[in-house]
């Protein structure tokens, strides 16, 4: 039977919760409610706060997108009354927990006006937001929304019937302004730098493009778009995960998540943040800080950059999962070398020592129960290389720190792209052809000329290009696995310290 309000199977195996769903008041929206990562991380912090007695954290789930299986996933969540299973696997064992906060569900492509009206309800004071990076329609050249997008053009011309996530937020904010209701606070859950600030830019820009001067001014004066850093590894769901849950718990859950025990949510305090909410979130384990950027940068450079290194060269070397790499004593040093370089420009933070953080990240990578596929991490390489390896490169060049493993990661990306079919890279759809041109000509220009990744300066910096070129030629000559082993063998103790 399907998991639902009326059937929770072998509930004795589930971690107990004191939440009474009937008594829970809806005060939070979740735009992009089928997304797995927020349901495994921020929603779990909110659920802890609700278990601690905060009454108005029931969630209104808003579905987005009518393609890529979004409609089917939303229907599955509806069939389960918004319930889902979170399976946490670590060295301490397995924990099964029900996600219980999703009380109401509205699929915006089919019920746009209902979604706007519910988001305009004064009871909604917060909204989790996840749109995927491309769903922000952010134009870095203008610092606003990408007006060349057909979907954005639709929302400019049809503000009351939006197609995009930013358009939905703008329409709901307009309804609140006209009703004399304060704006809700969108909390971006995107794994990207300055996520909240970026969301604010596209929302305000869209209101401006729609010609609504009053709303634009109101948003600038009254709305807050705090940045956040969210961290929990949530691998791609497999059919075997669903089968295991059904066998163990006695119900069919088509929207579960298998994840690690670790979770972190660092949230920027915003103007007029209610003291009661701040206290409730802090008690639930959320870190409320004045500036998220240092925490964001620590994660991107320590965890994500090392993921990116492994996703390309270690995948090409024959590995499938992250834990396989770091649990292999012959190959684990490359992960240590990556983190040593990427952390060179980082400083200790309140509550977060960088050496200790690095150790925690490495232990998370080693978790054999979380089969995190390198191929999953490899998607959207241009943006990831830019935000991770290139960001660390620029910082290290400024302070004279080593860049060798960072350049190895970029060379590994080029080699991987040259030998991989059907690459999902939204910023550089022709990355495969570009990489093959590099291999064919022996010149890096076809890839280093991607301004979105490398800007205008790095292609001219021989400190960078000479190292990338040497690594790529070594990979081509020896093969990824043998070259990686020879690289690791030459590492000094200082390089992995």
Asked if residue 491 belongs to a domain, the reply is: yes
> In this predicted structure, what is the pLDDT of residue 193?
84
pLDDT at position 192 is 83
Same domain, 120 and 153: yes
Residues 105 and 215 in one domain: yes
pLDDT for position 35: 93
- Its sign, for the CA torsion 467, 473, 478, 479, is positive
Cα separation, 191 vs 229, whole angstroms: 7
Q: For tokens 């500036």, name the residue.
A: 291
Query: Could you tell me the CA-to-CA distances from 386 to 201, 313, 413 in Å, in that order?
Result: 21, 17, 12
Residue 2 lies in a domain: no
How far is the C-alpha of 241 from the C-alpha of 84, rounded, in Å?
A: 13
Q: What DSSP state is assigned to residue 181?
A: -
C-alpha torsion angle, residues 297, 298, 300, 306 (rounded to 10): 150
Residue 223 lies in a domain: yes
Q: What is the pLDDT of residues 277-318, one digit of tens each?
A: 999 999 999 999 999 999 999 999 999 999 999 999 999 999
- Is residue 75 packed enough to be buried (19+ CB in 10 Å), middle (13-18) or exposed (0-12)? middle
For position 441, what pLDDT does the model report?
97
SS3 151: helix
Q: Are residues 284 and 245 in the same domain?
A: yes
Query: Is 433 among the domain residues?
Result: yes
Same domain, 369 and 449: yes
191 in the same domain as 314: no
Written as one string, the DSSP assignment of 446-484 is: HHHT-HHHHTTTGGG-HHHHHHHHHHHHHHHHH-HHHHH
CATH code, domain with 268: 3.40.50.720
Residue at a domain's end among 268, 291, 314: 291
Same domain, 480 and 356: yes
Based on the fold, state whether residues 236 and 317 are members of the same structural domain.
no
Residue 213 sits in the same domain as residue 64:
yes
Per the structure, the complete domain to which residue 445 belongs is given by: 294-496
The Cα diameter of the chain in Å comes to 68
Residue 427, pLDDT score: 87
pLDDT value of residue 134: 84
Nearest to 187 by CA among 107, 133, 130, 102: 130
- Say if residues 403 and 495 touch (Cβ distance below 8 Å): no
pLDDT the model gives residue 337? 98
Question: Do strands 58-63 and 26-31 pair parallel, antiparallel, or not at all (unpaired)?
Answer: parallel
For residue 101, tell me if it sits in a domain.
Answer: yes
Same domain for 189 and 152, yes or no, is yes
Burial (CB count <10 Å: 0-12, 13-18, 19+), residue 278: middle
CATH of the domain at 467: 1.10.1040.10
Within a domain: 114:
yes
In whole angstroms, what is the distance from residue 477 CA to residue 471 CA?
10
Is 343 within a domain?
A: yes
Is 113 part of any domain? yes
Query: Are residues 118 and 240 both part of a single domain?
Result: yes
Q: Structure pTM? A: 0.90
d(CA 118, CA 113): 9
In whole angstroms, what is the distance from residue 476 CA to residue 481 CA? 11
342 and 264 co-located in one domain = no
Low-confidence ranges of the chain (pLDDT < 70): 66-67
CA distance 103 to 291: 32
Residue 67's pLDDT is 67
Both 165 and 66 in one domain: the answer is yes
* Per-residue pLDDT at 66: 66
User: What pLDDT sits at residue 9?
Assistant: 83
* Domain boundary residue, one of 272, 291, 310: 291
> What pLDDT, on the 0 to 100 scale, is given for residue 327?
98
Domain boundary among 291, 311, 335: 291
Quote the number of domains for the chain: 2
Task: Convert the pLDDT of each residue in 118-169 to its tens digit.
Answer: 999 999 999 999 998 889 999 988 999 999 999 999 999 999 999 999 999 9
């Amino acid at each position: 039977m399907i998991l639902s309000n009326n059937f929770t199977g072998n509930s004795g195996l589930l971690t107990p919760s004191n939440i009474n769903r009937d008594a829970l008041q809806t005060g939070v929206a979740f735009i992009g409610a089928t997304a797995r990562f927020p349901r495994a991380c921020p929603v779990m912090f909110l659920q802890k706060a609700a278990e601690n007695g905060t009454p108005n954290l029931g969630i209104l789930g808003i579905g987005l997108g009518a393609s890529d299986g979004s409609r089917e996933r939303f229907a599955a969540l509806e069939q389960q009354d918004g319930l889902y299973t979170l399976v946490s696997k670590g060295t301490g064992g397995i924990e099964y927990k029900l996600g219980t906060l999703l009380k109401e569900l509205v699929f915006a492509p089919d019920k746009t006006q209902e979604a706007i009206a519910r988001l305009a309800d004064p009871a909604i004071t917060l909204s989790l937001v996840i749109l995927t990076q491309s769903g922000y329609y952010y134009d870095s050249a203008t610092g606003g929304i990408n007006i060349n997008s057909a979907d954005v053009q639709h929302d400019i011309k049809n503000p009351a019937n939006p197609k995009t996530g930013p358009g939905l937020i703008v329409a709901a904010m307009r309804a609140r302004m006209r009703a004399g209701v304060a704006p809700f606070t969108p909390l971006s859950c995107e794994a990207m730098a300055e996520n909240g600030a970026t969301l604010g830019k596209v929302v305000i820009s869209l209101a401006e493009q729609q010609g609504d001067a009053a709303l634009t001014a109101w948003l600038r004066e009254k709305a807050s778009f705090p940045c956040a850093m969210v961290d929990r590894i949530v691998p791609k769901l497999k059919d075997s995960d669903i089968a295991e849950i059904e066998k163990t718990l006695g119900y069919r859950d088509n929207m579960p998540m298998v994840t690690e025990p670790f979770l972190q949510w660092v949230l920027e305090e915003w103007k007029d943040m209610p003291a009661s909410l701040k206290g409730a979130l802090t008690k639930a384990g959320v870190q409320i800080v004045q500036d998220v950027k240092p925490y964001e940068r620590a994660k991107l450079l320590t965890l994500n950059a090392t993921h990116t290194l492994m996703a390309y060269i270690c995948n090409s070397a024959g590995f499938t999962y992250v834990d396989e790499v770091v649990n292999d004593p012959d190959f684990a040093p490359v992960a240590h070398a990556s983190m040593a370089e990427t952390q060179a420009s980082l400083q200790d933070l309140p509550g977060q020592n960088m050496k200790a953080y690095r150790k925690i990240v490495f232990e998370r990578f080693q978790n054999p129960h979380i089969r995190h596929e390198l191929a999953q991490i490899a998607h959207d390489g241009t943006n990831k290389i830019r935000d991770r390896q290139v960001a660390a490169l620029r910082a290290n060049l400024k302070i004279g720190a080593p860049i060798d493993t960072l350049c190895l990661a970029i060379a590994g990306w080029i080699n991987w792209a040259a030998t991989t079919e059907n690459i999902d890279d939204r910023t550089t759809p022709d990355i495969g052809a570009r990489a093959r041109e590099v291999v064919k000509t022996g010149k890096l220009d076809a890839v280093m000329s991607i301004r979105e990744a490398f800007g205008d300066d790095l292609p001219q910096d021989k400190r960078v290009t000479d190292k990338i070129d040497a690594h790529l030629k070594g990979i081509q000559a020896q093969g990824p696995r043998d070259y990686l082993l020879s690289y690791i063998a030459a590492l000094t103790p200082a390089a992995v310290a």
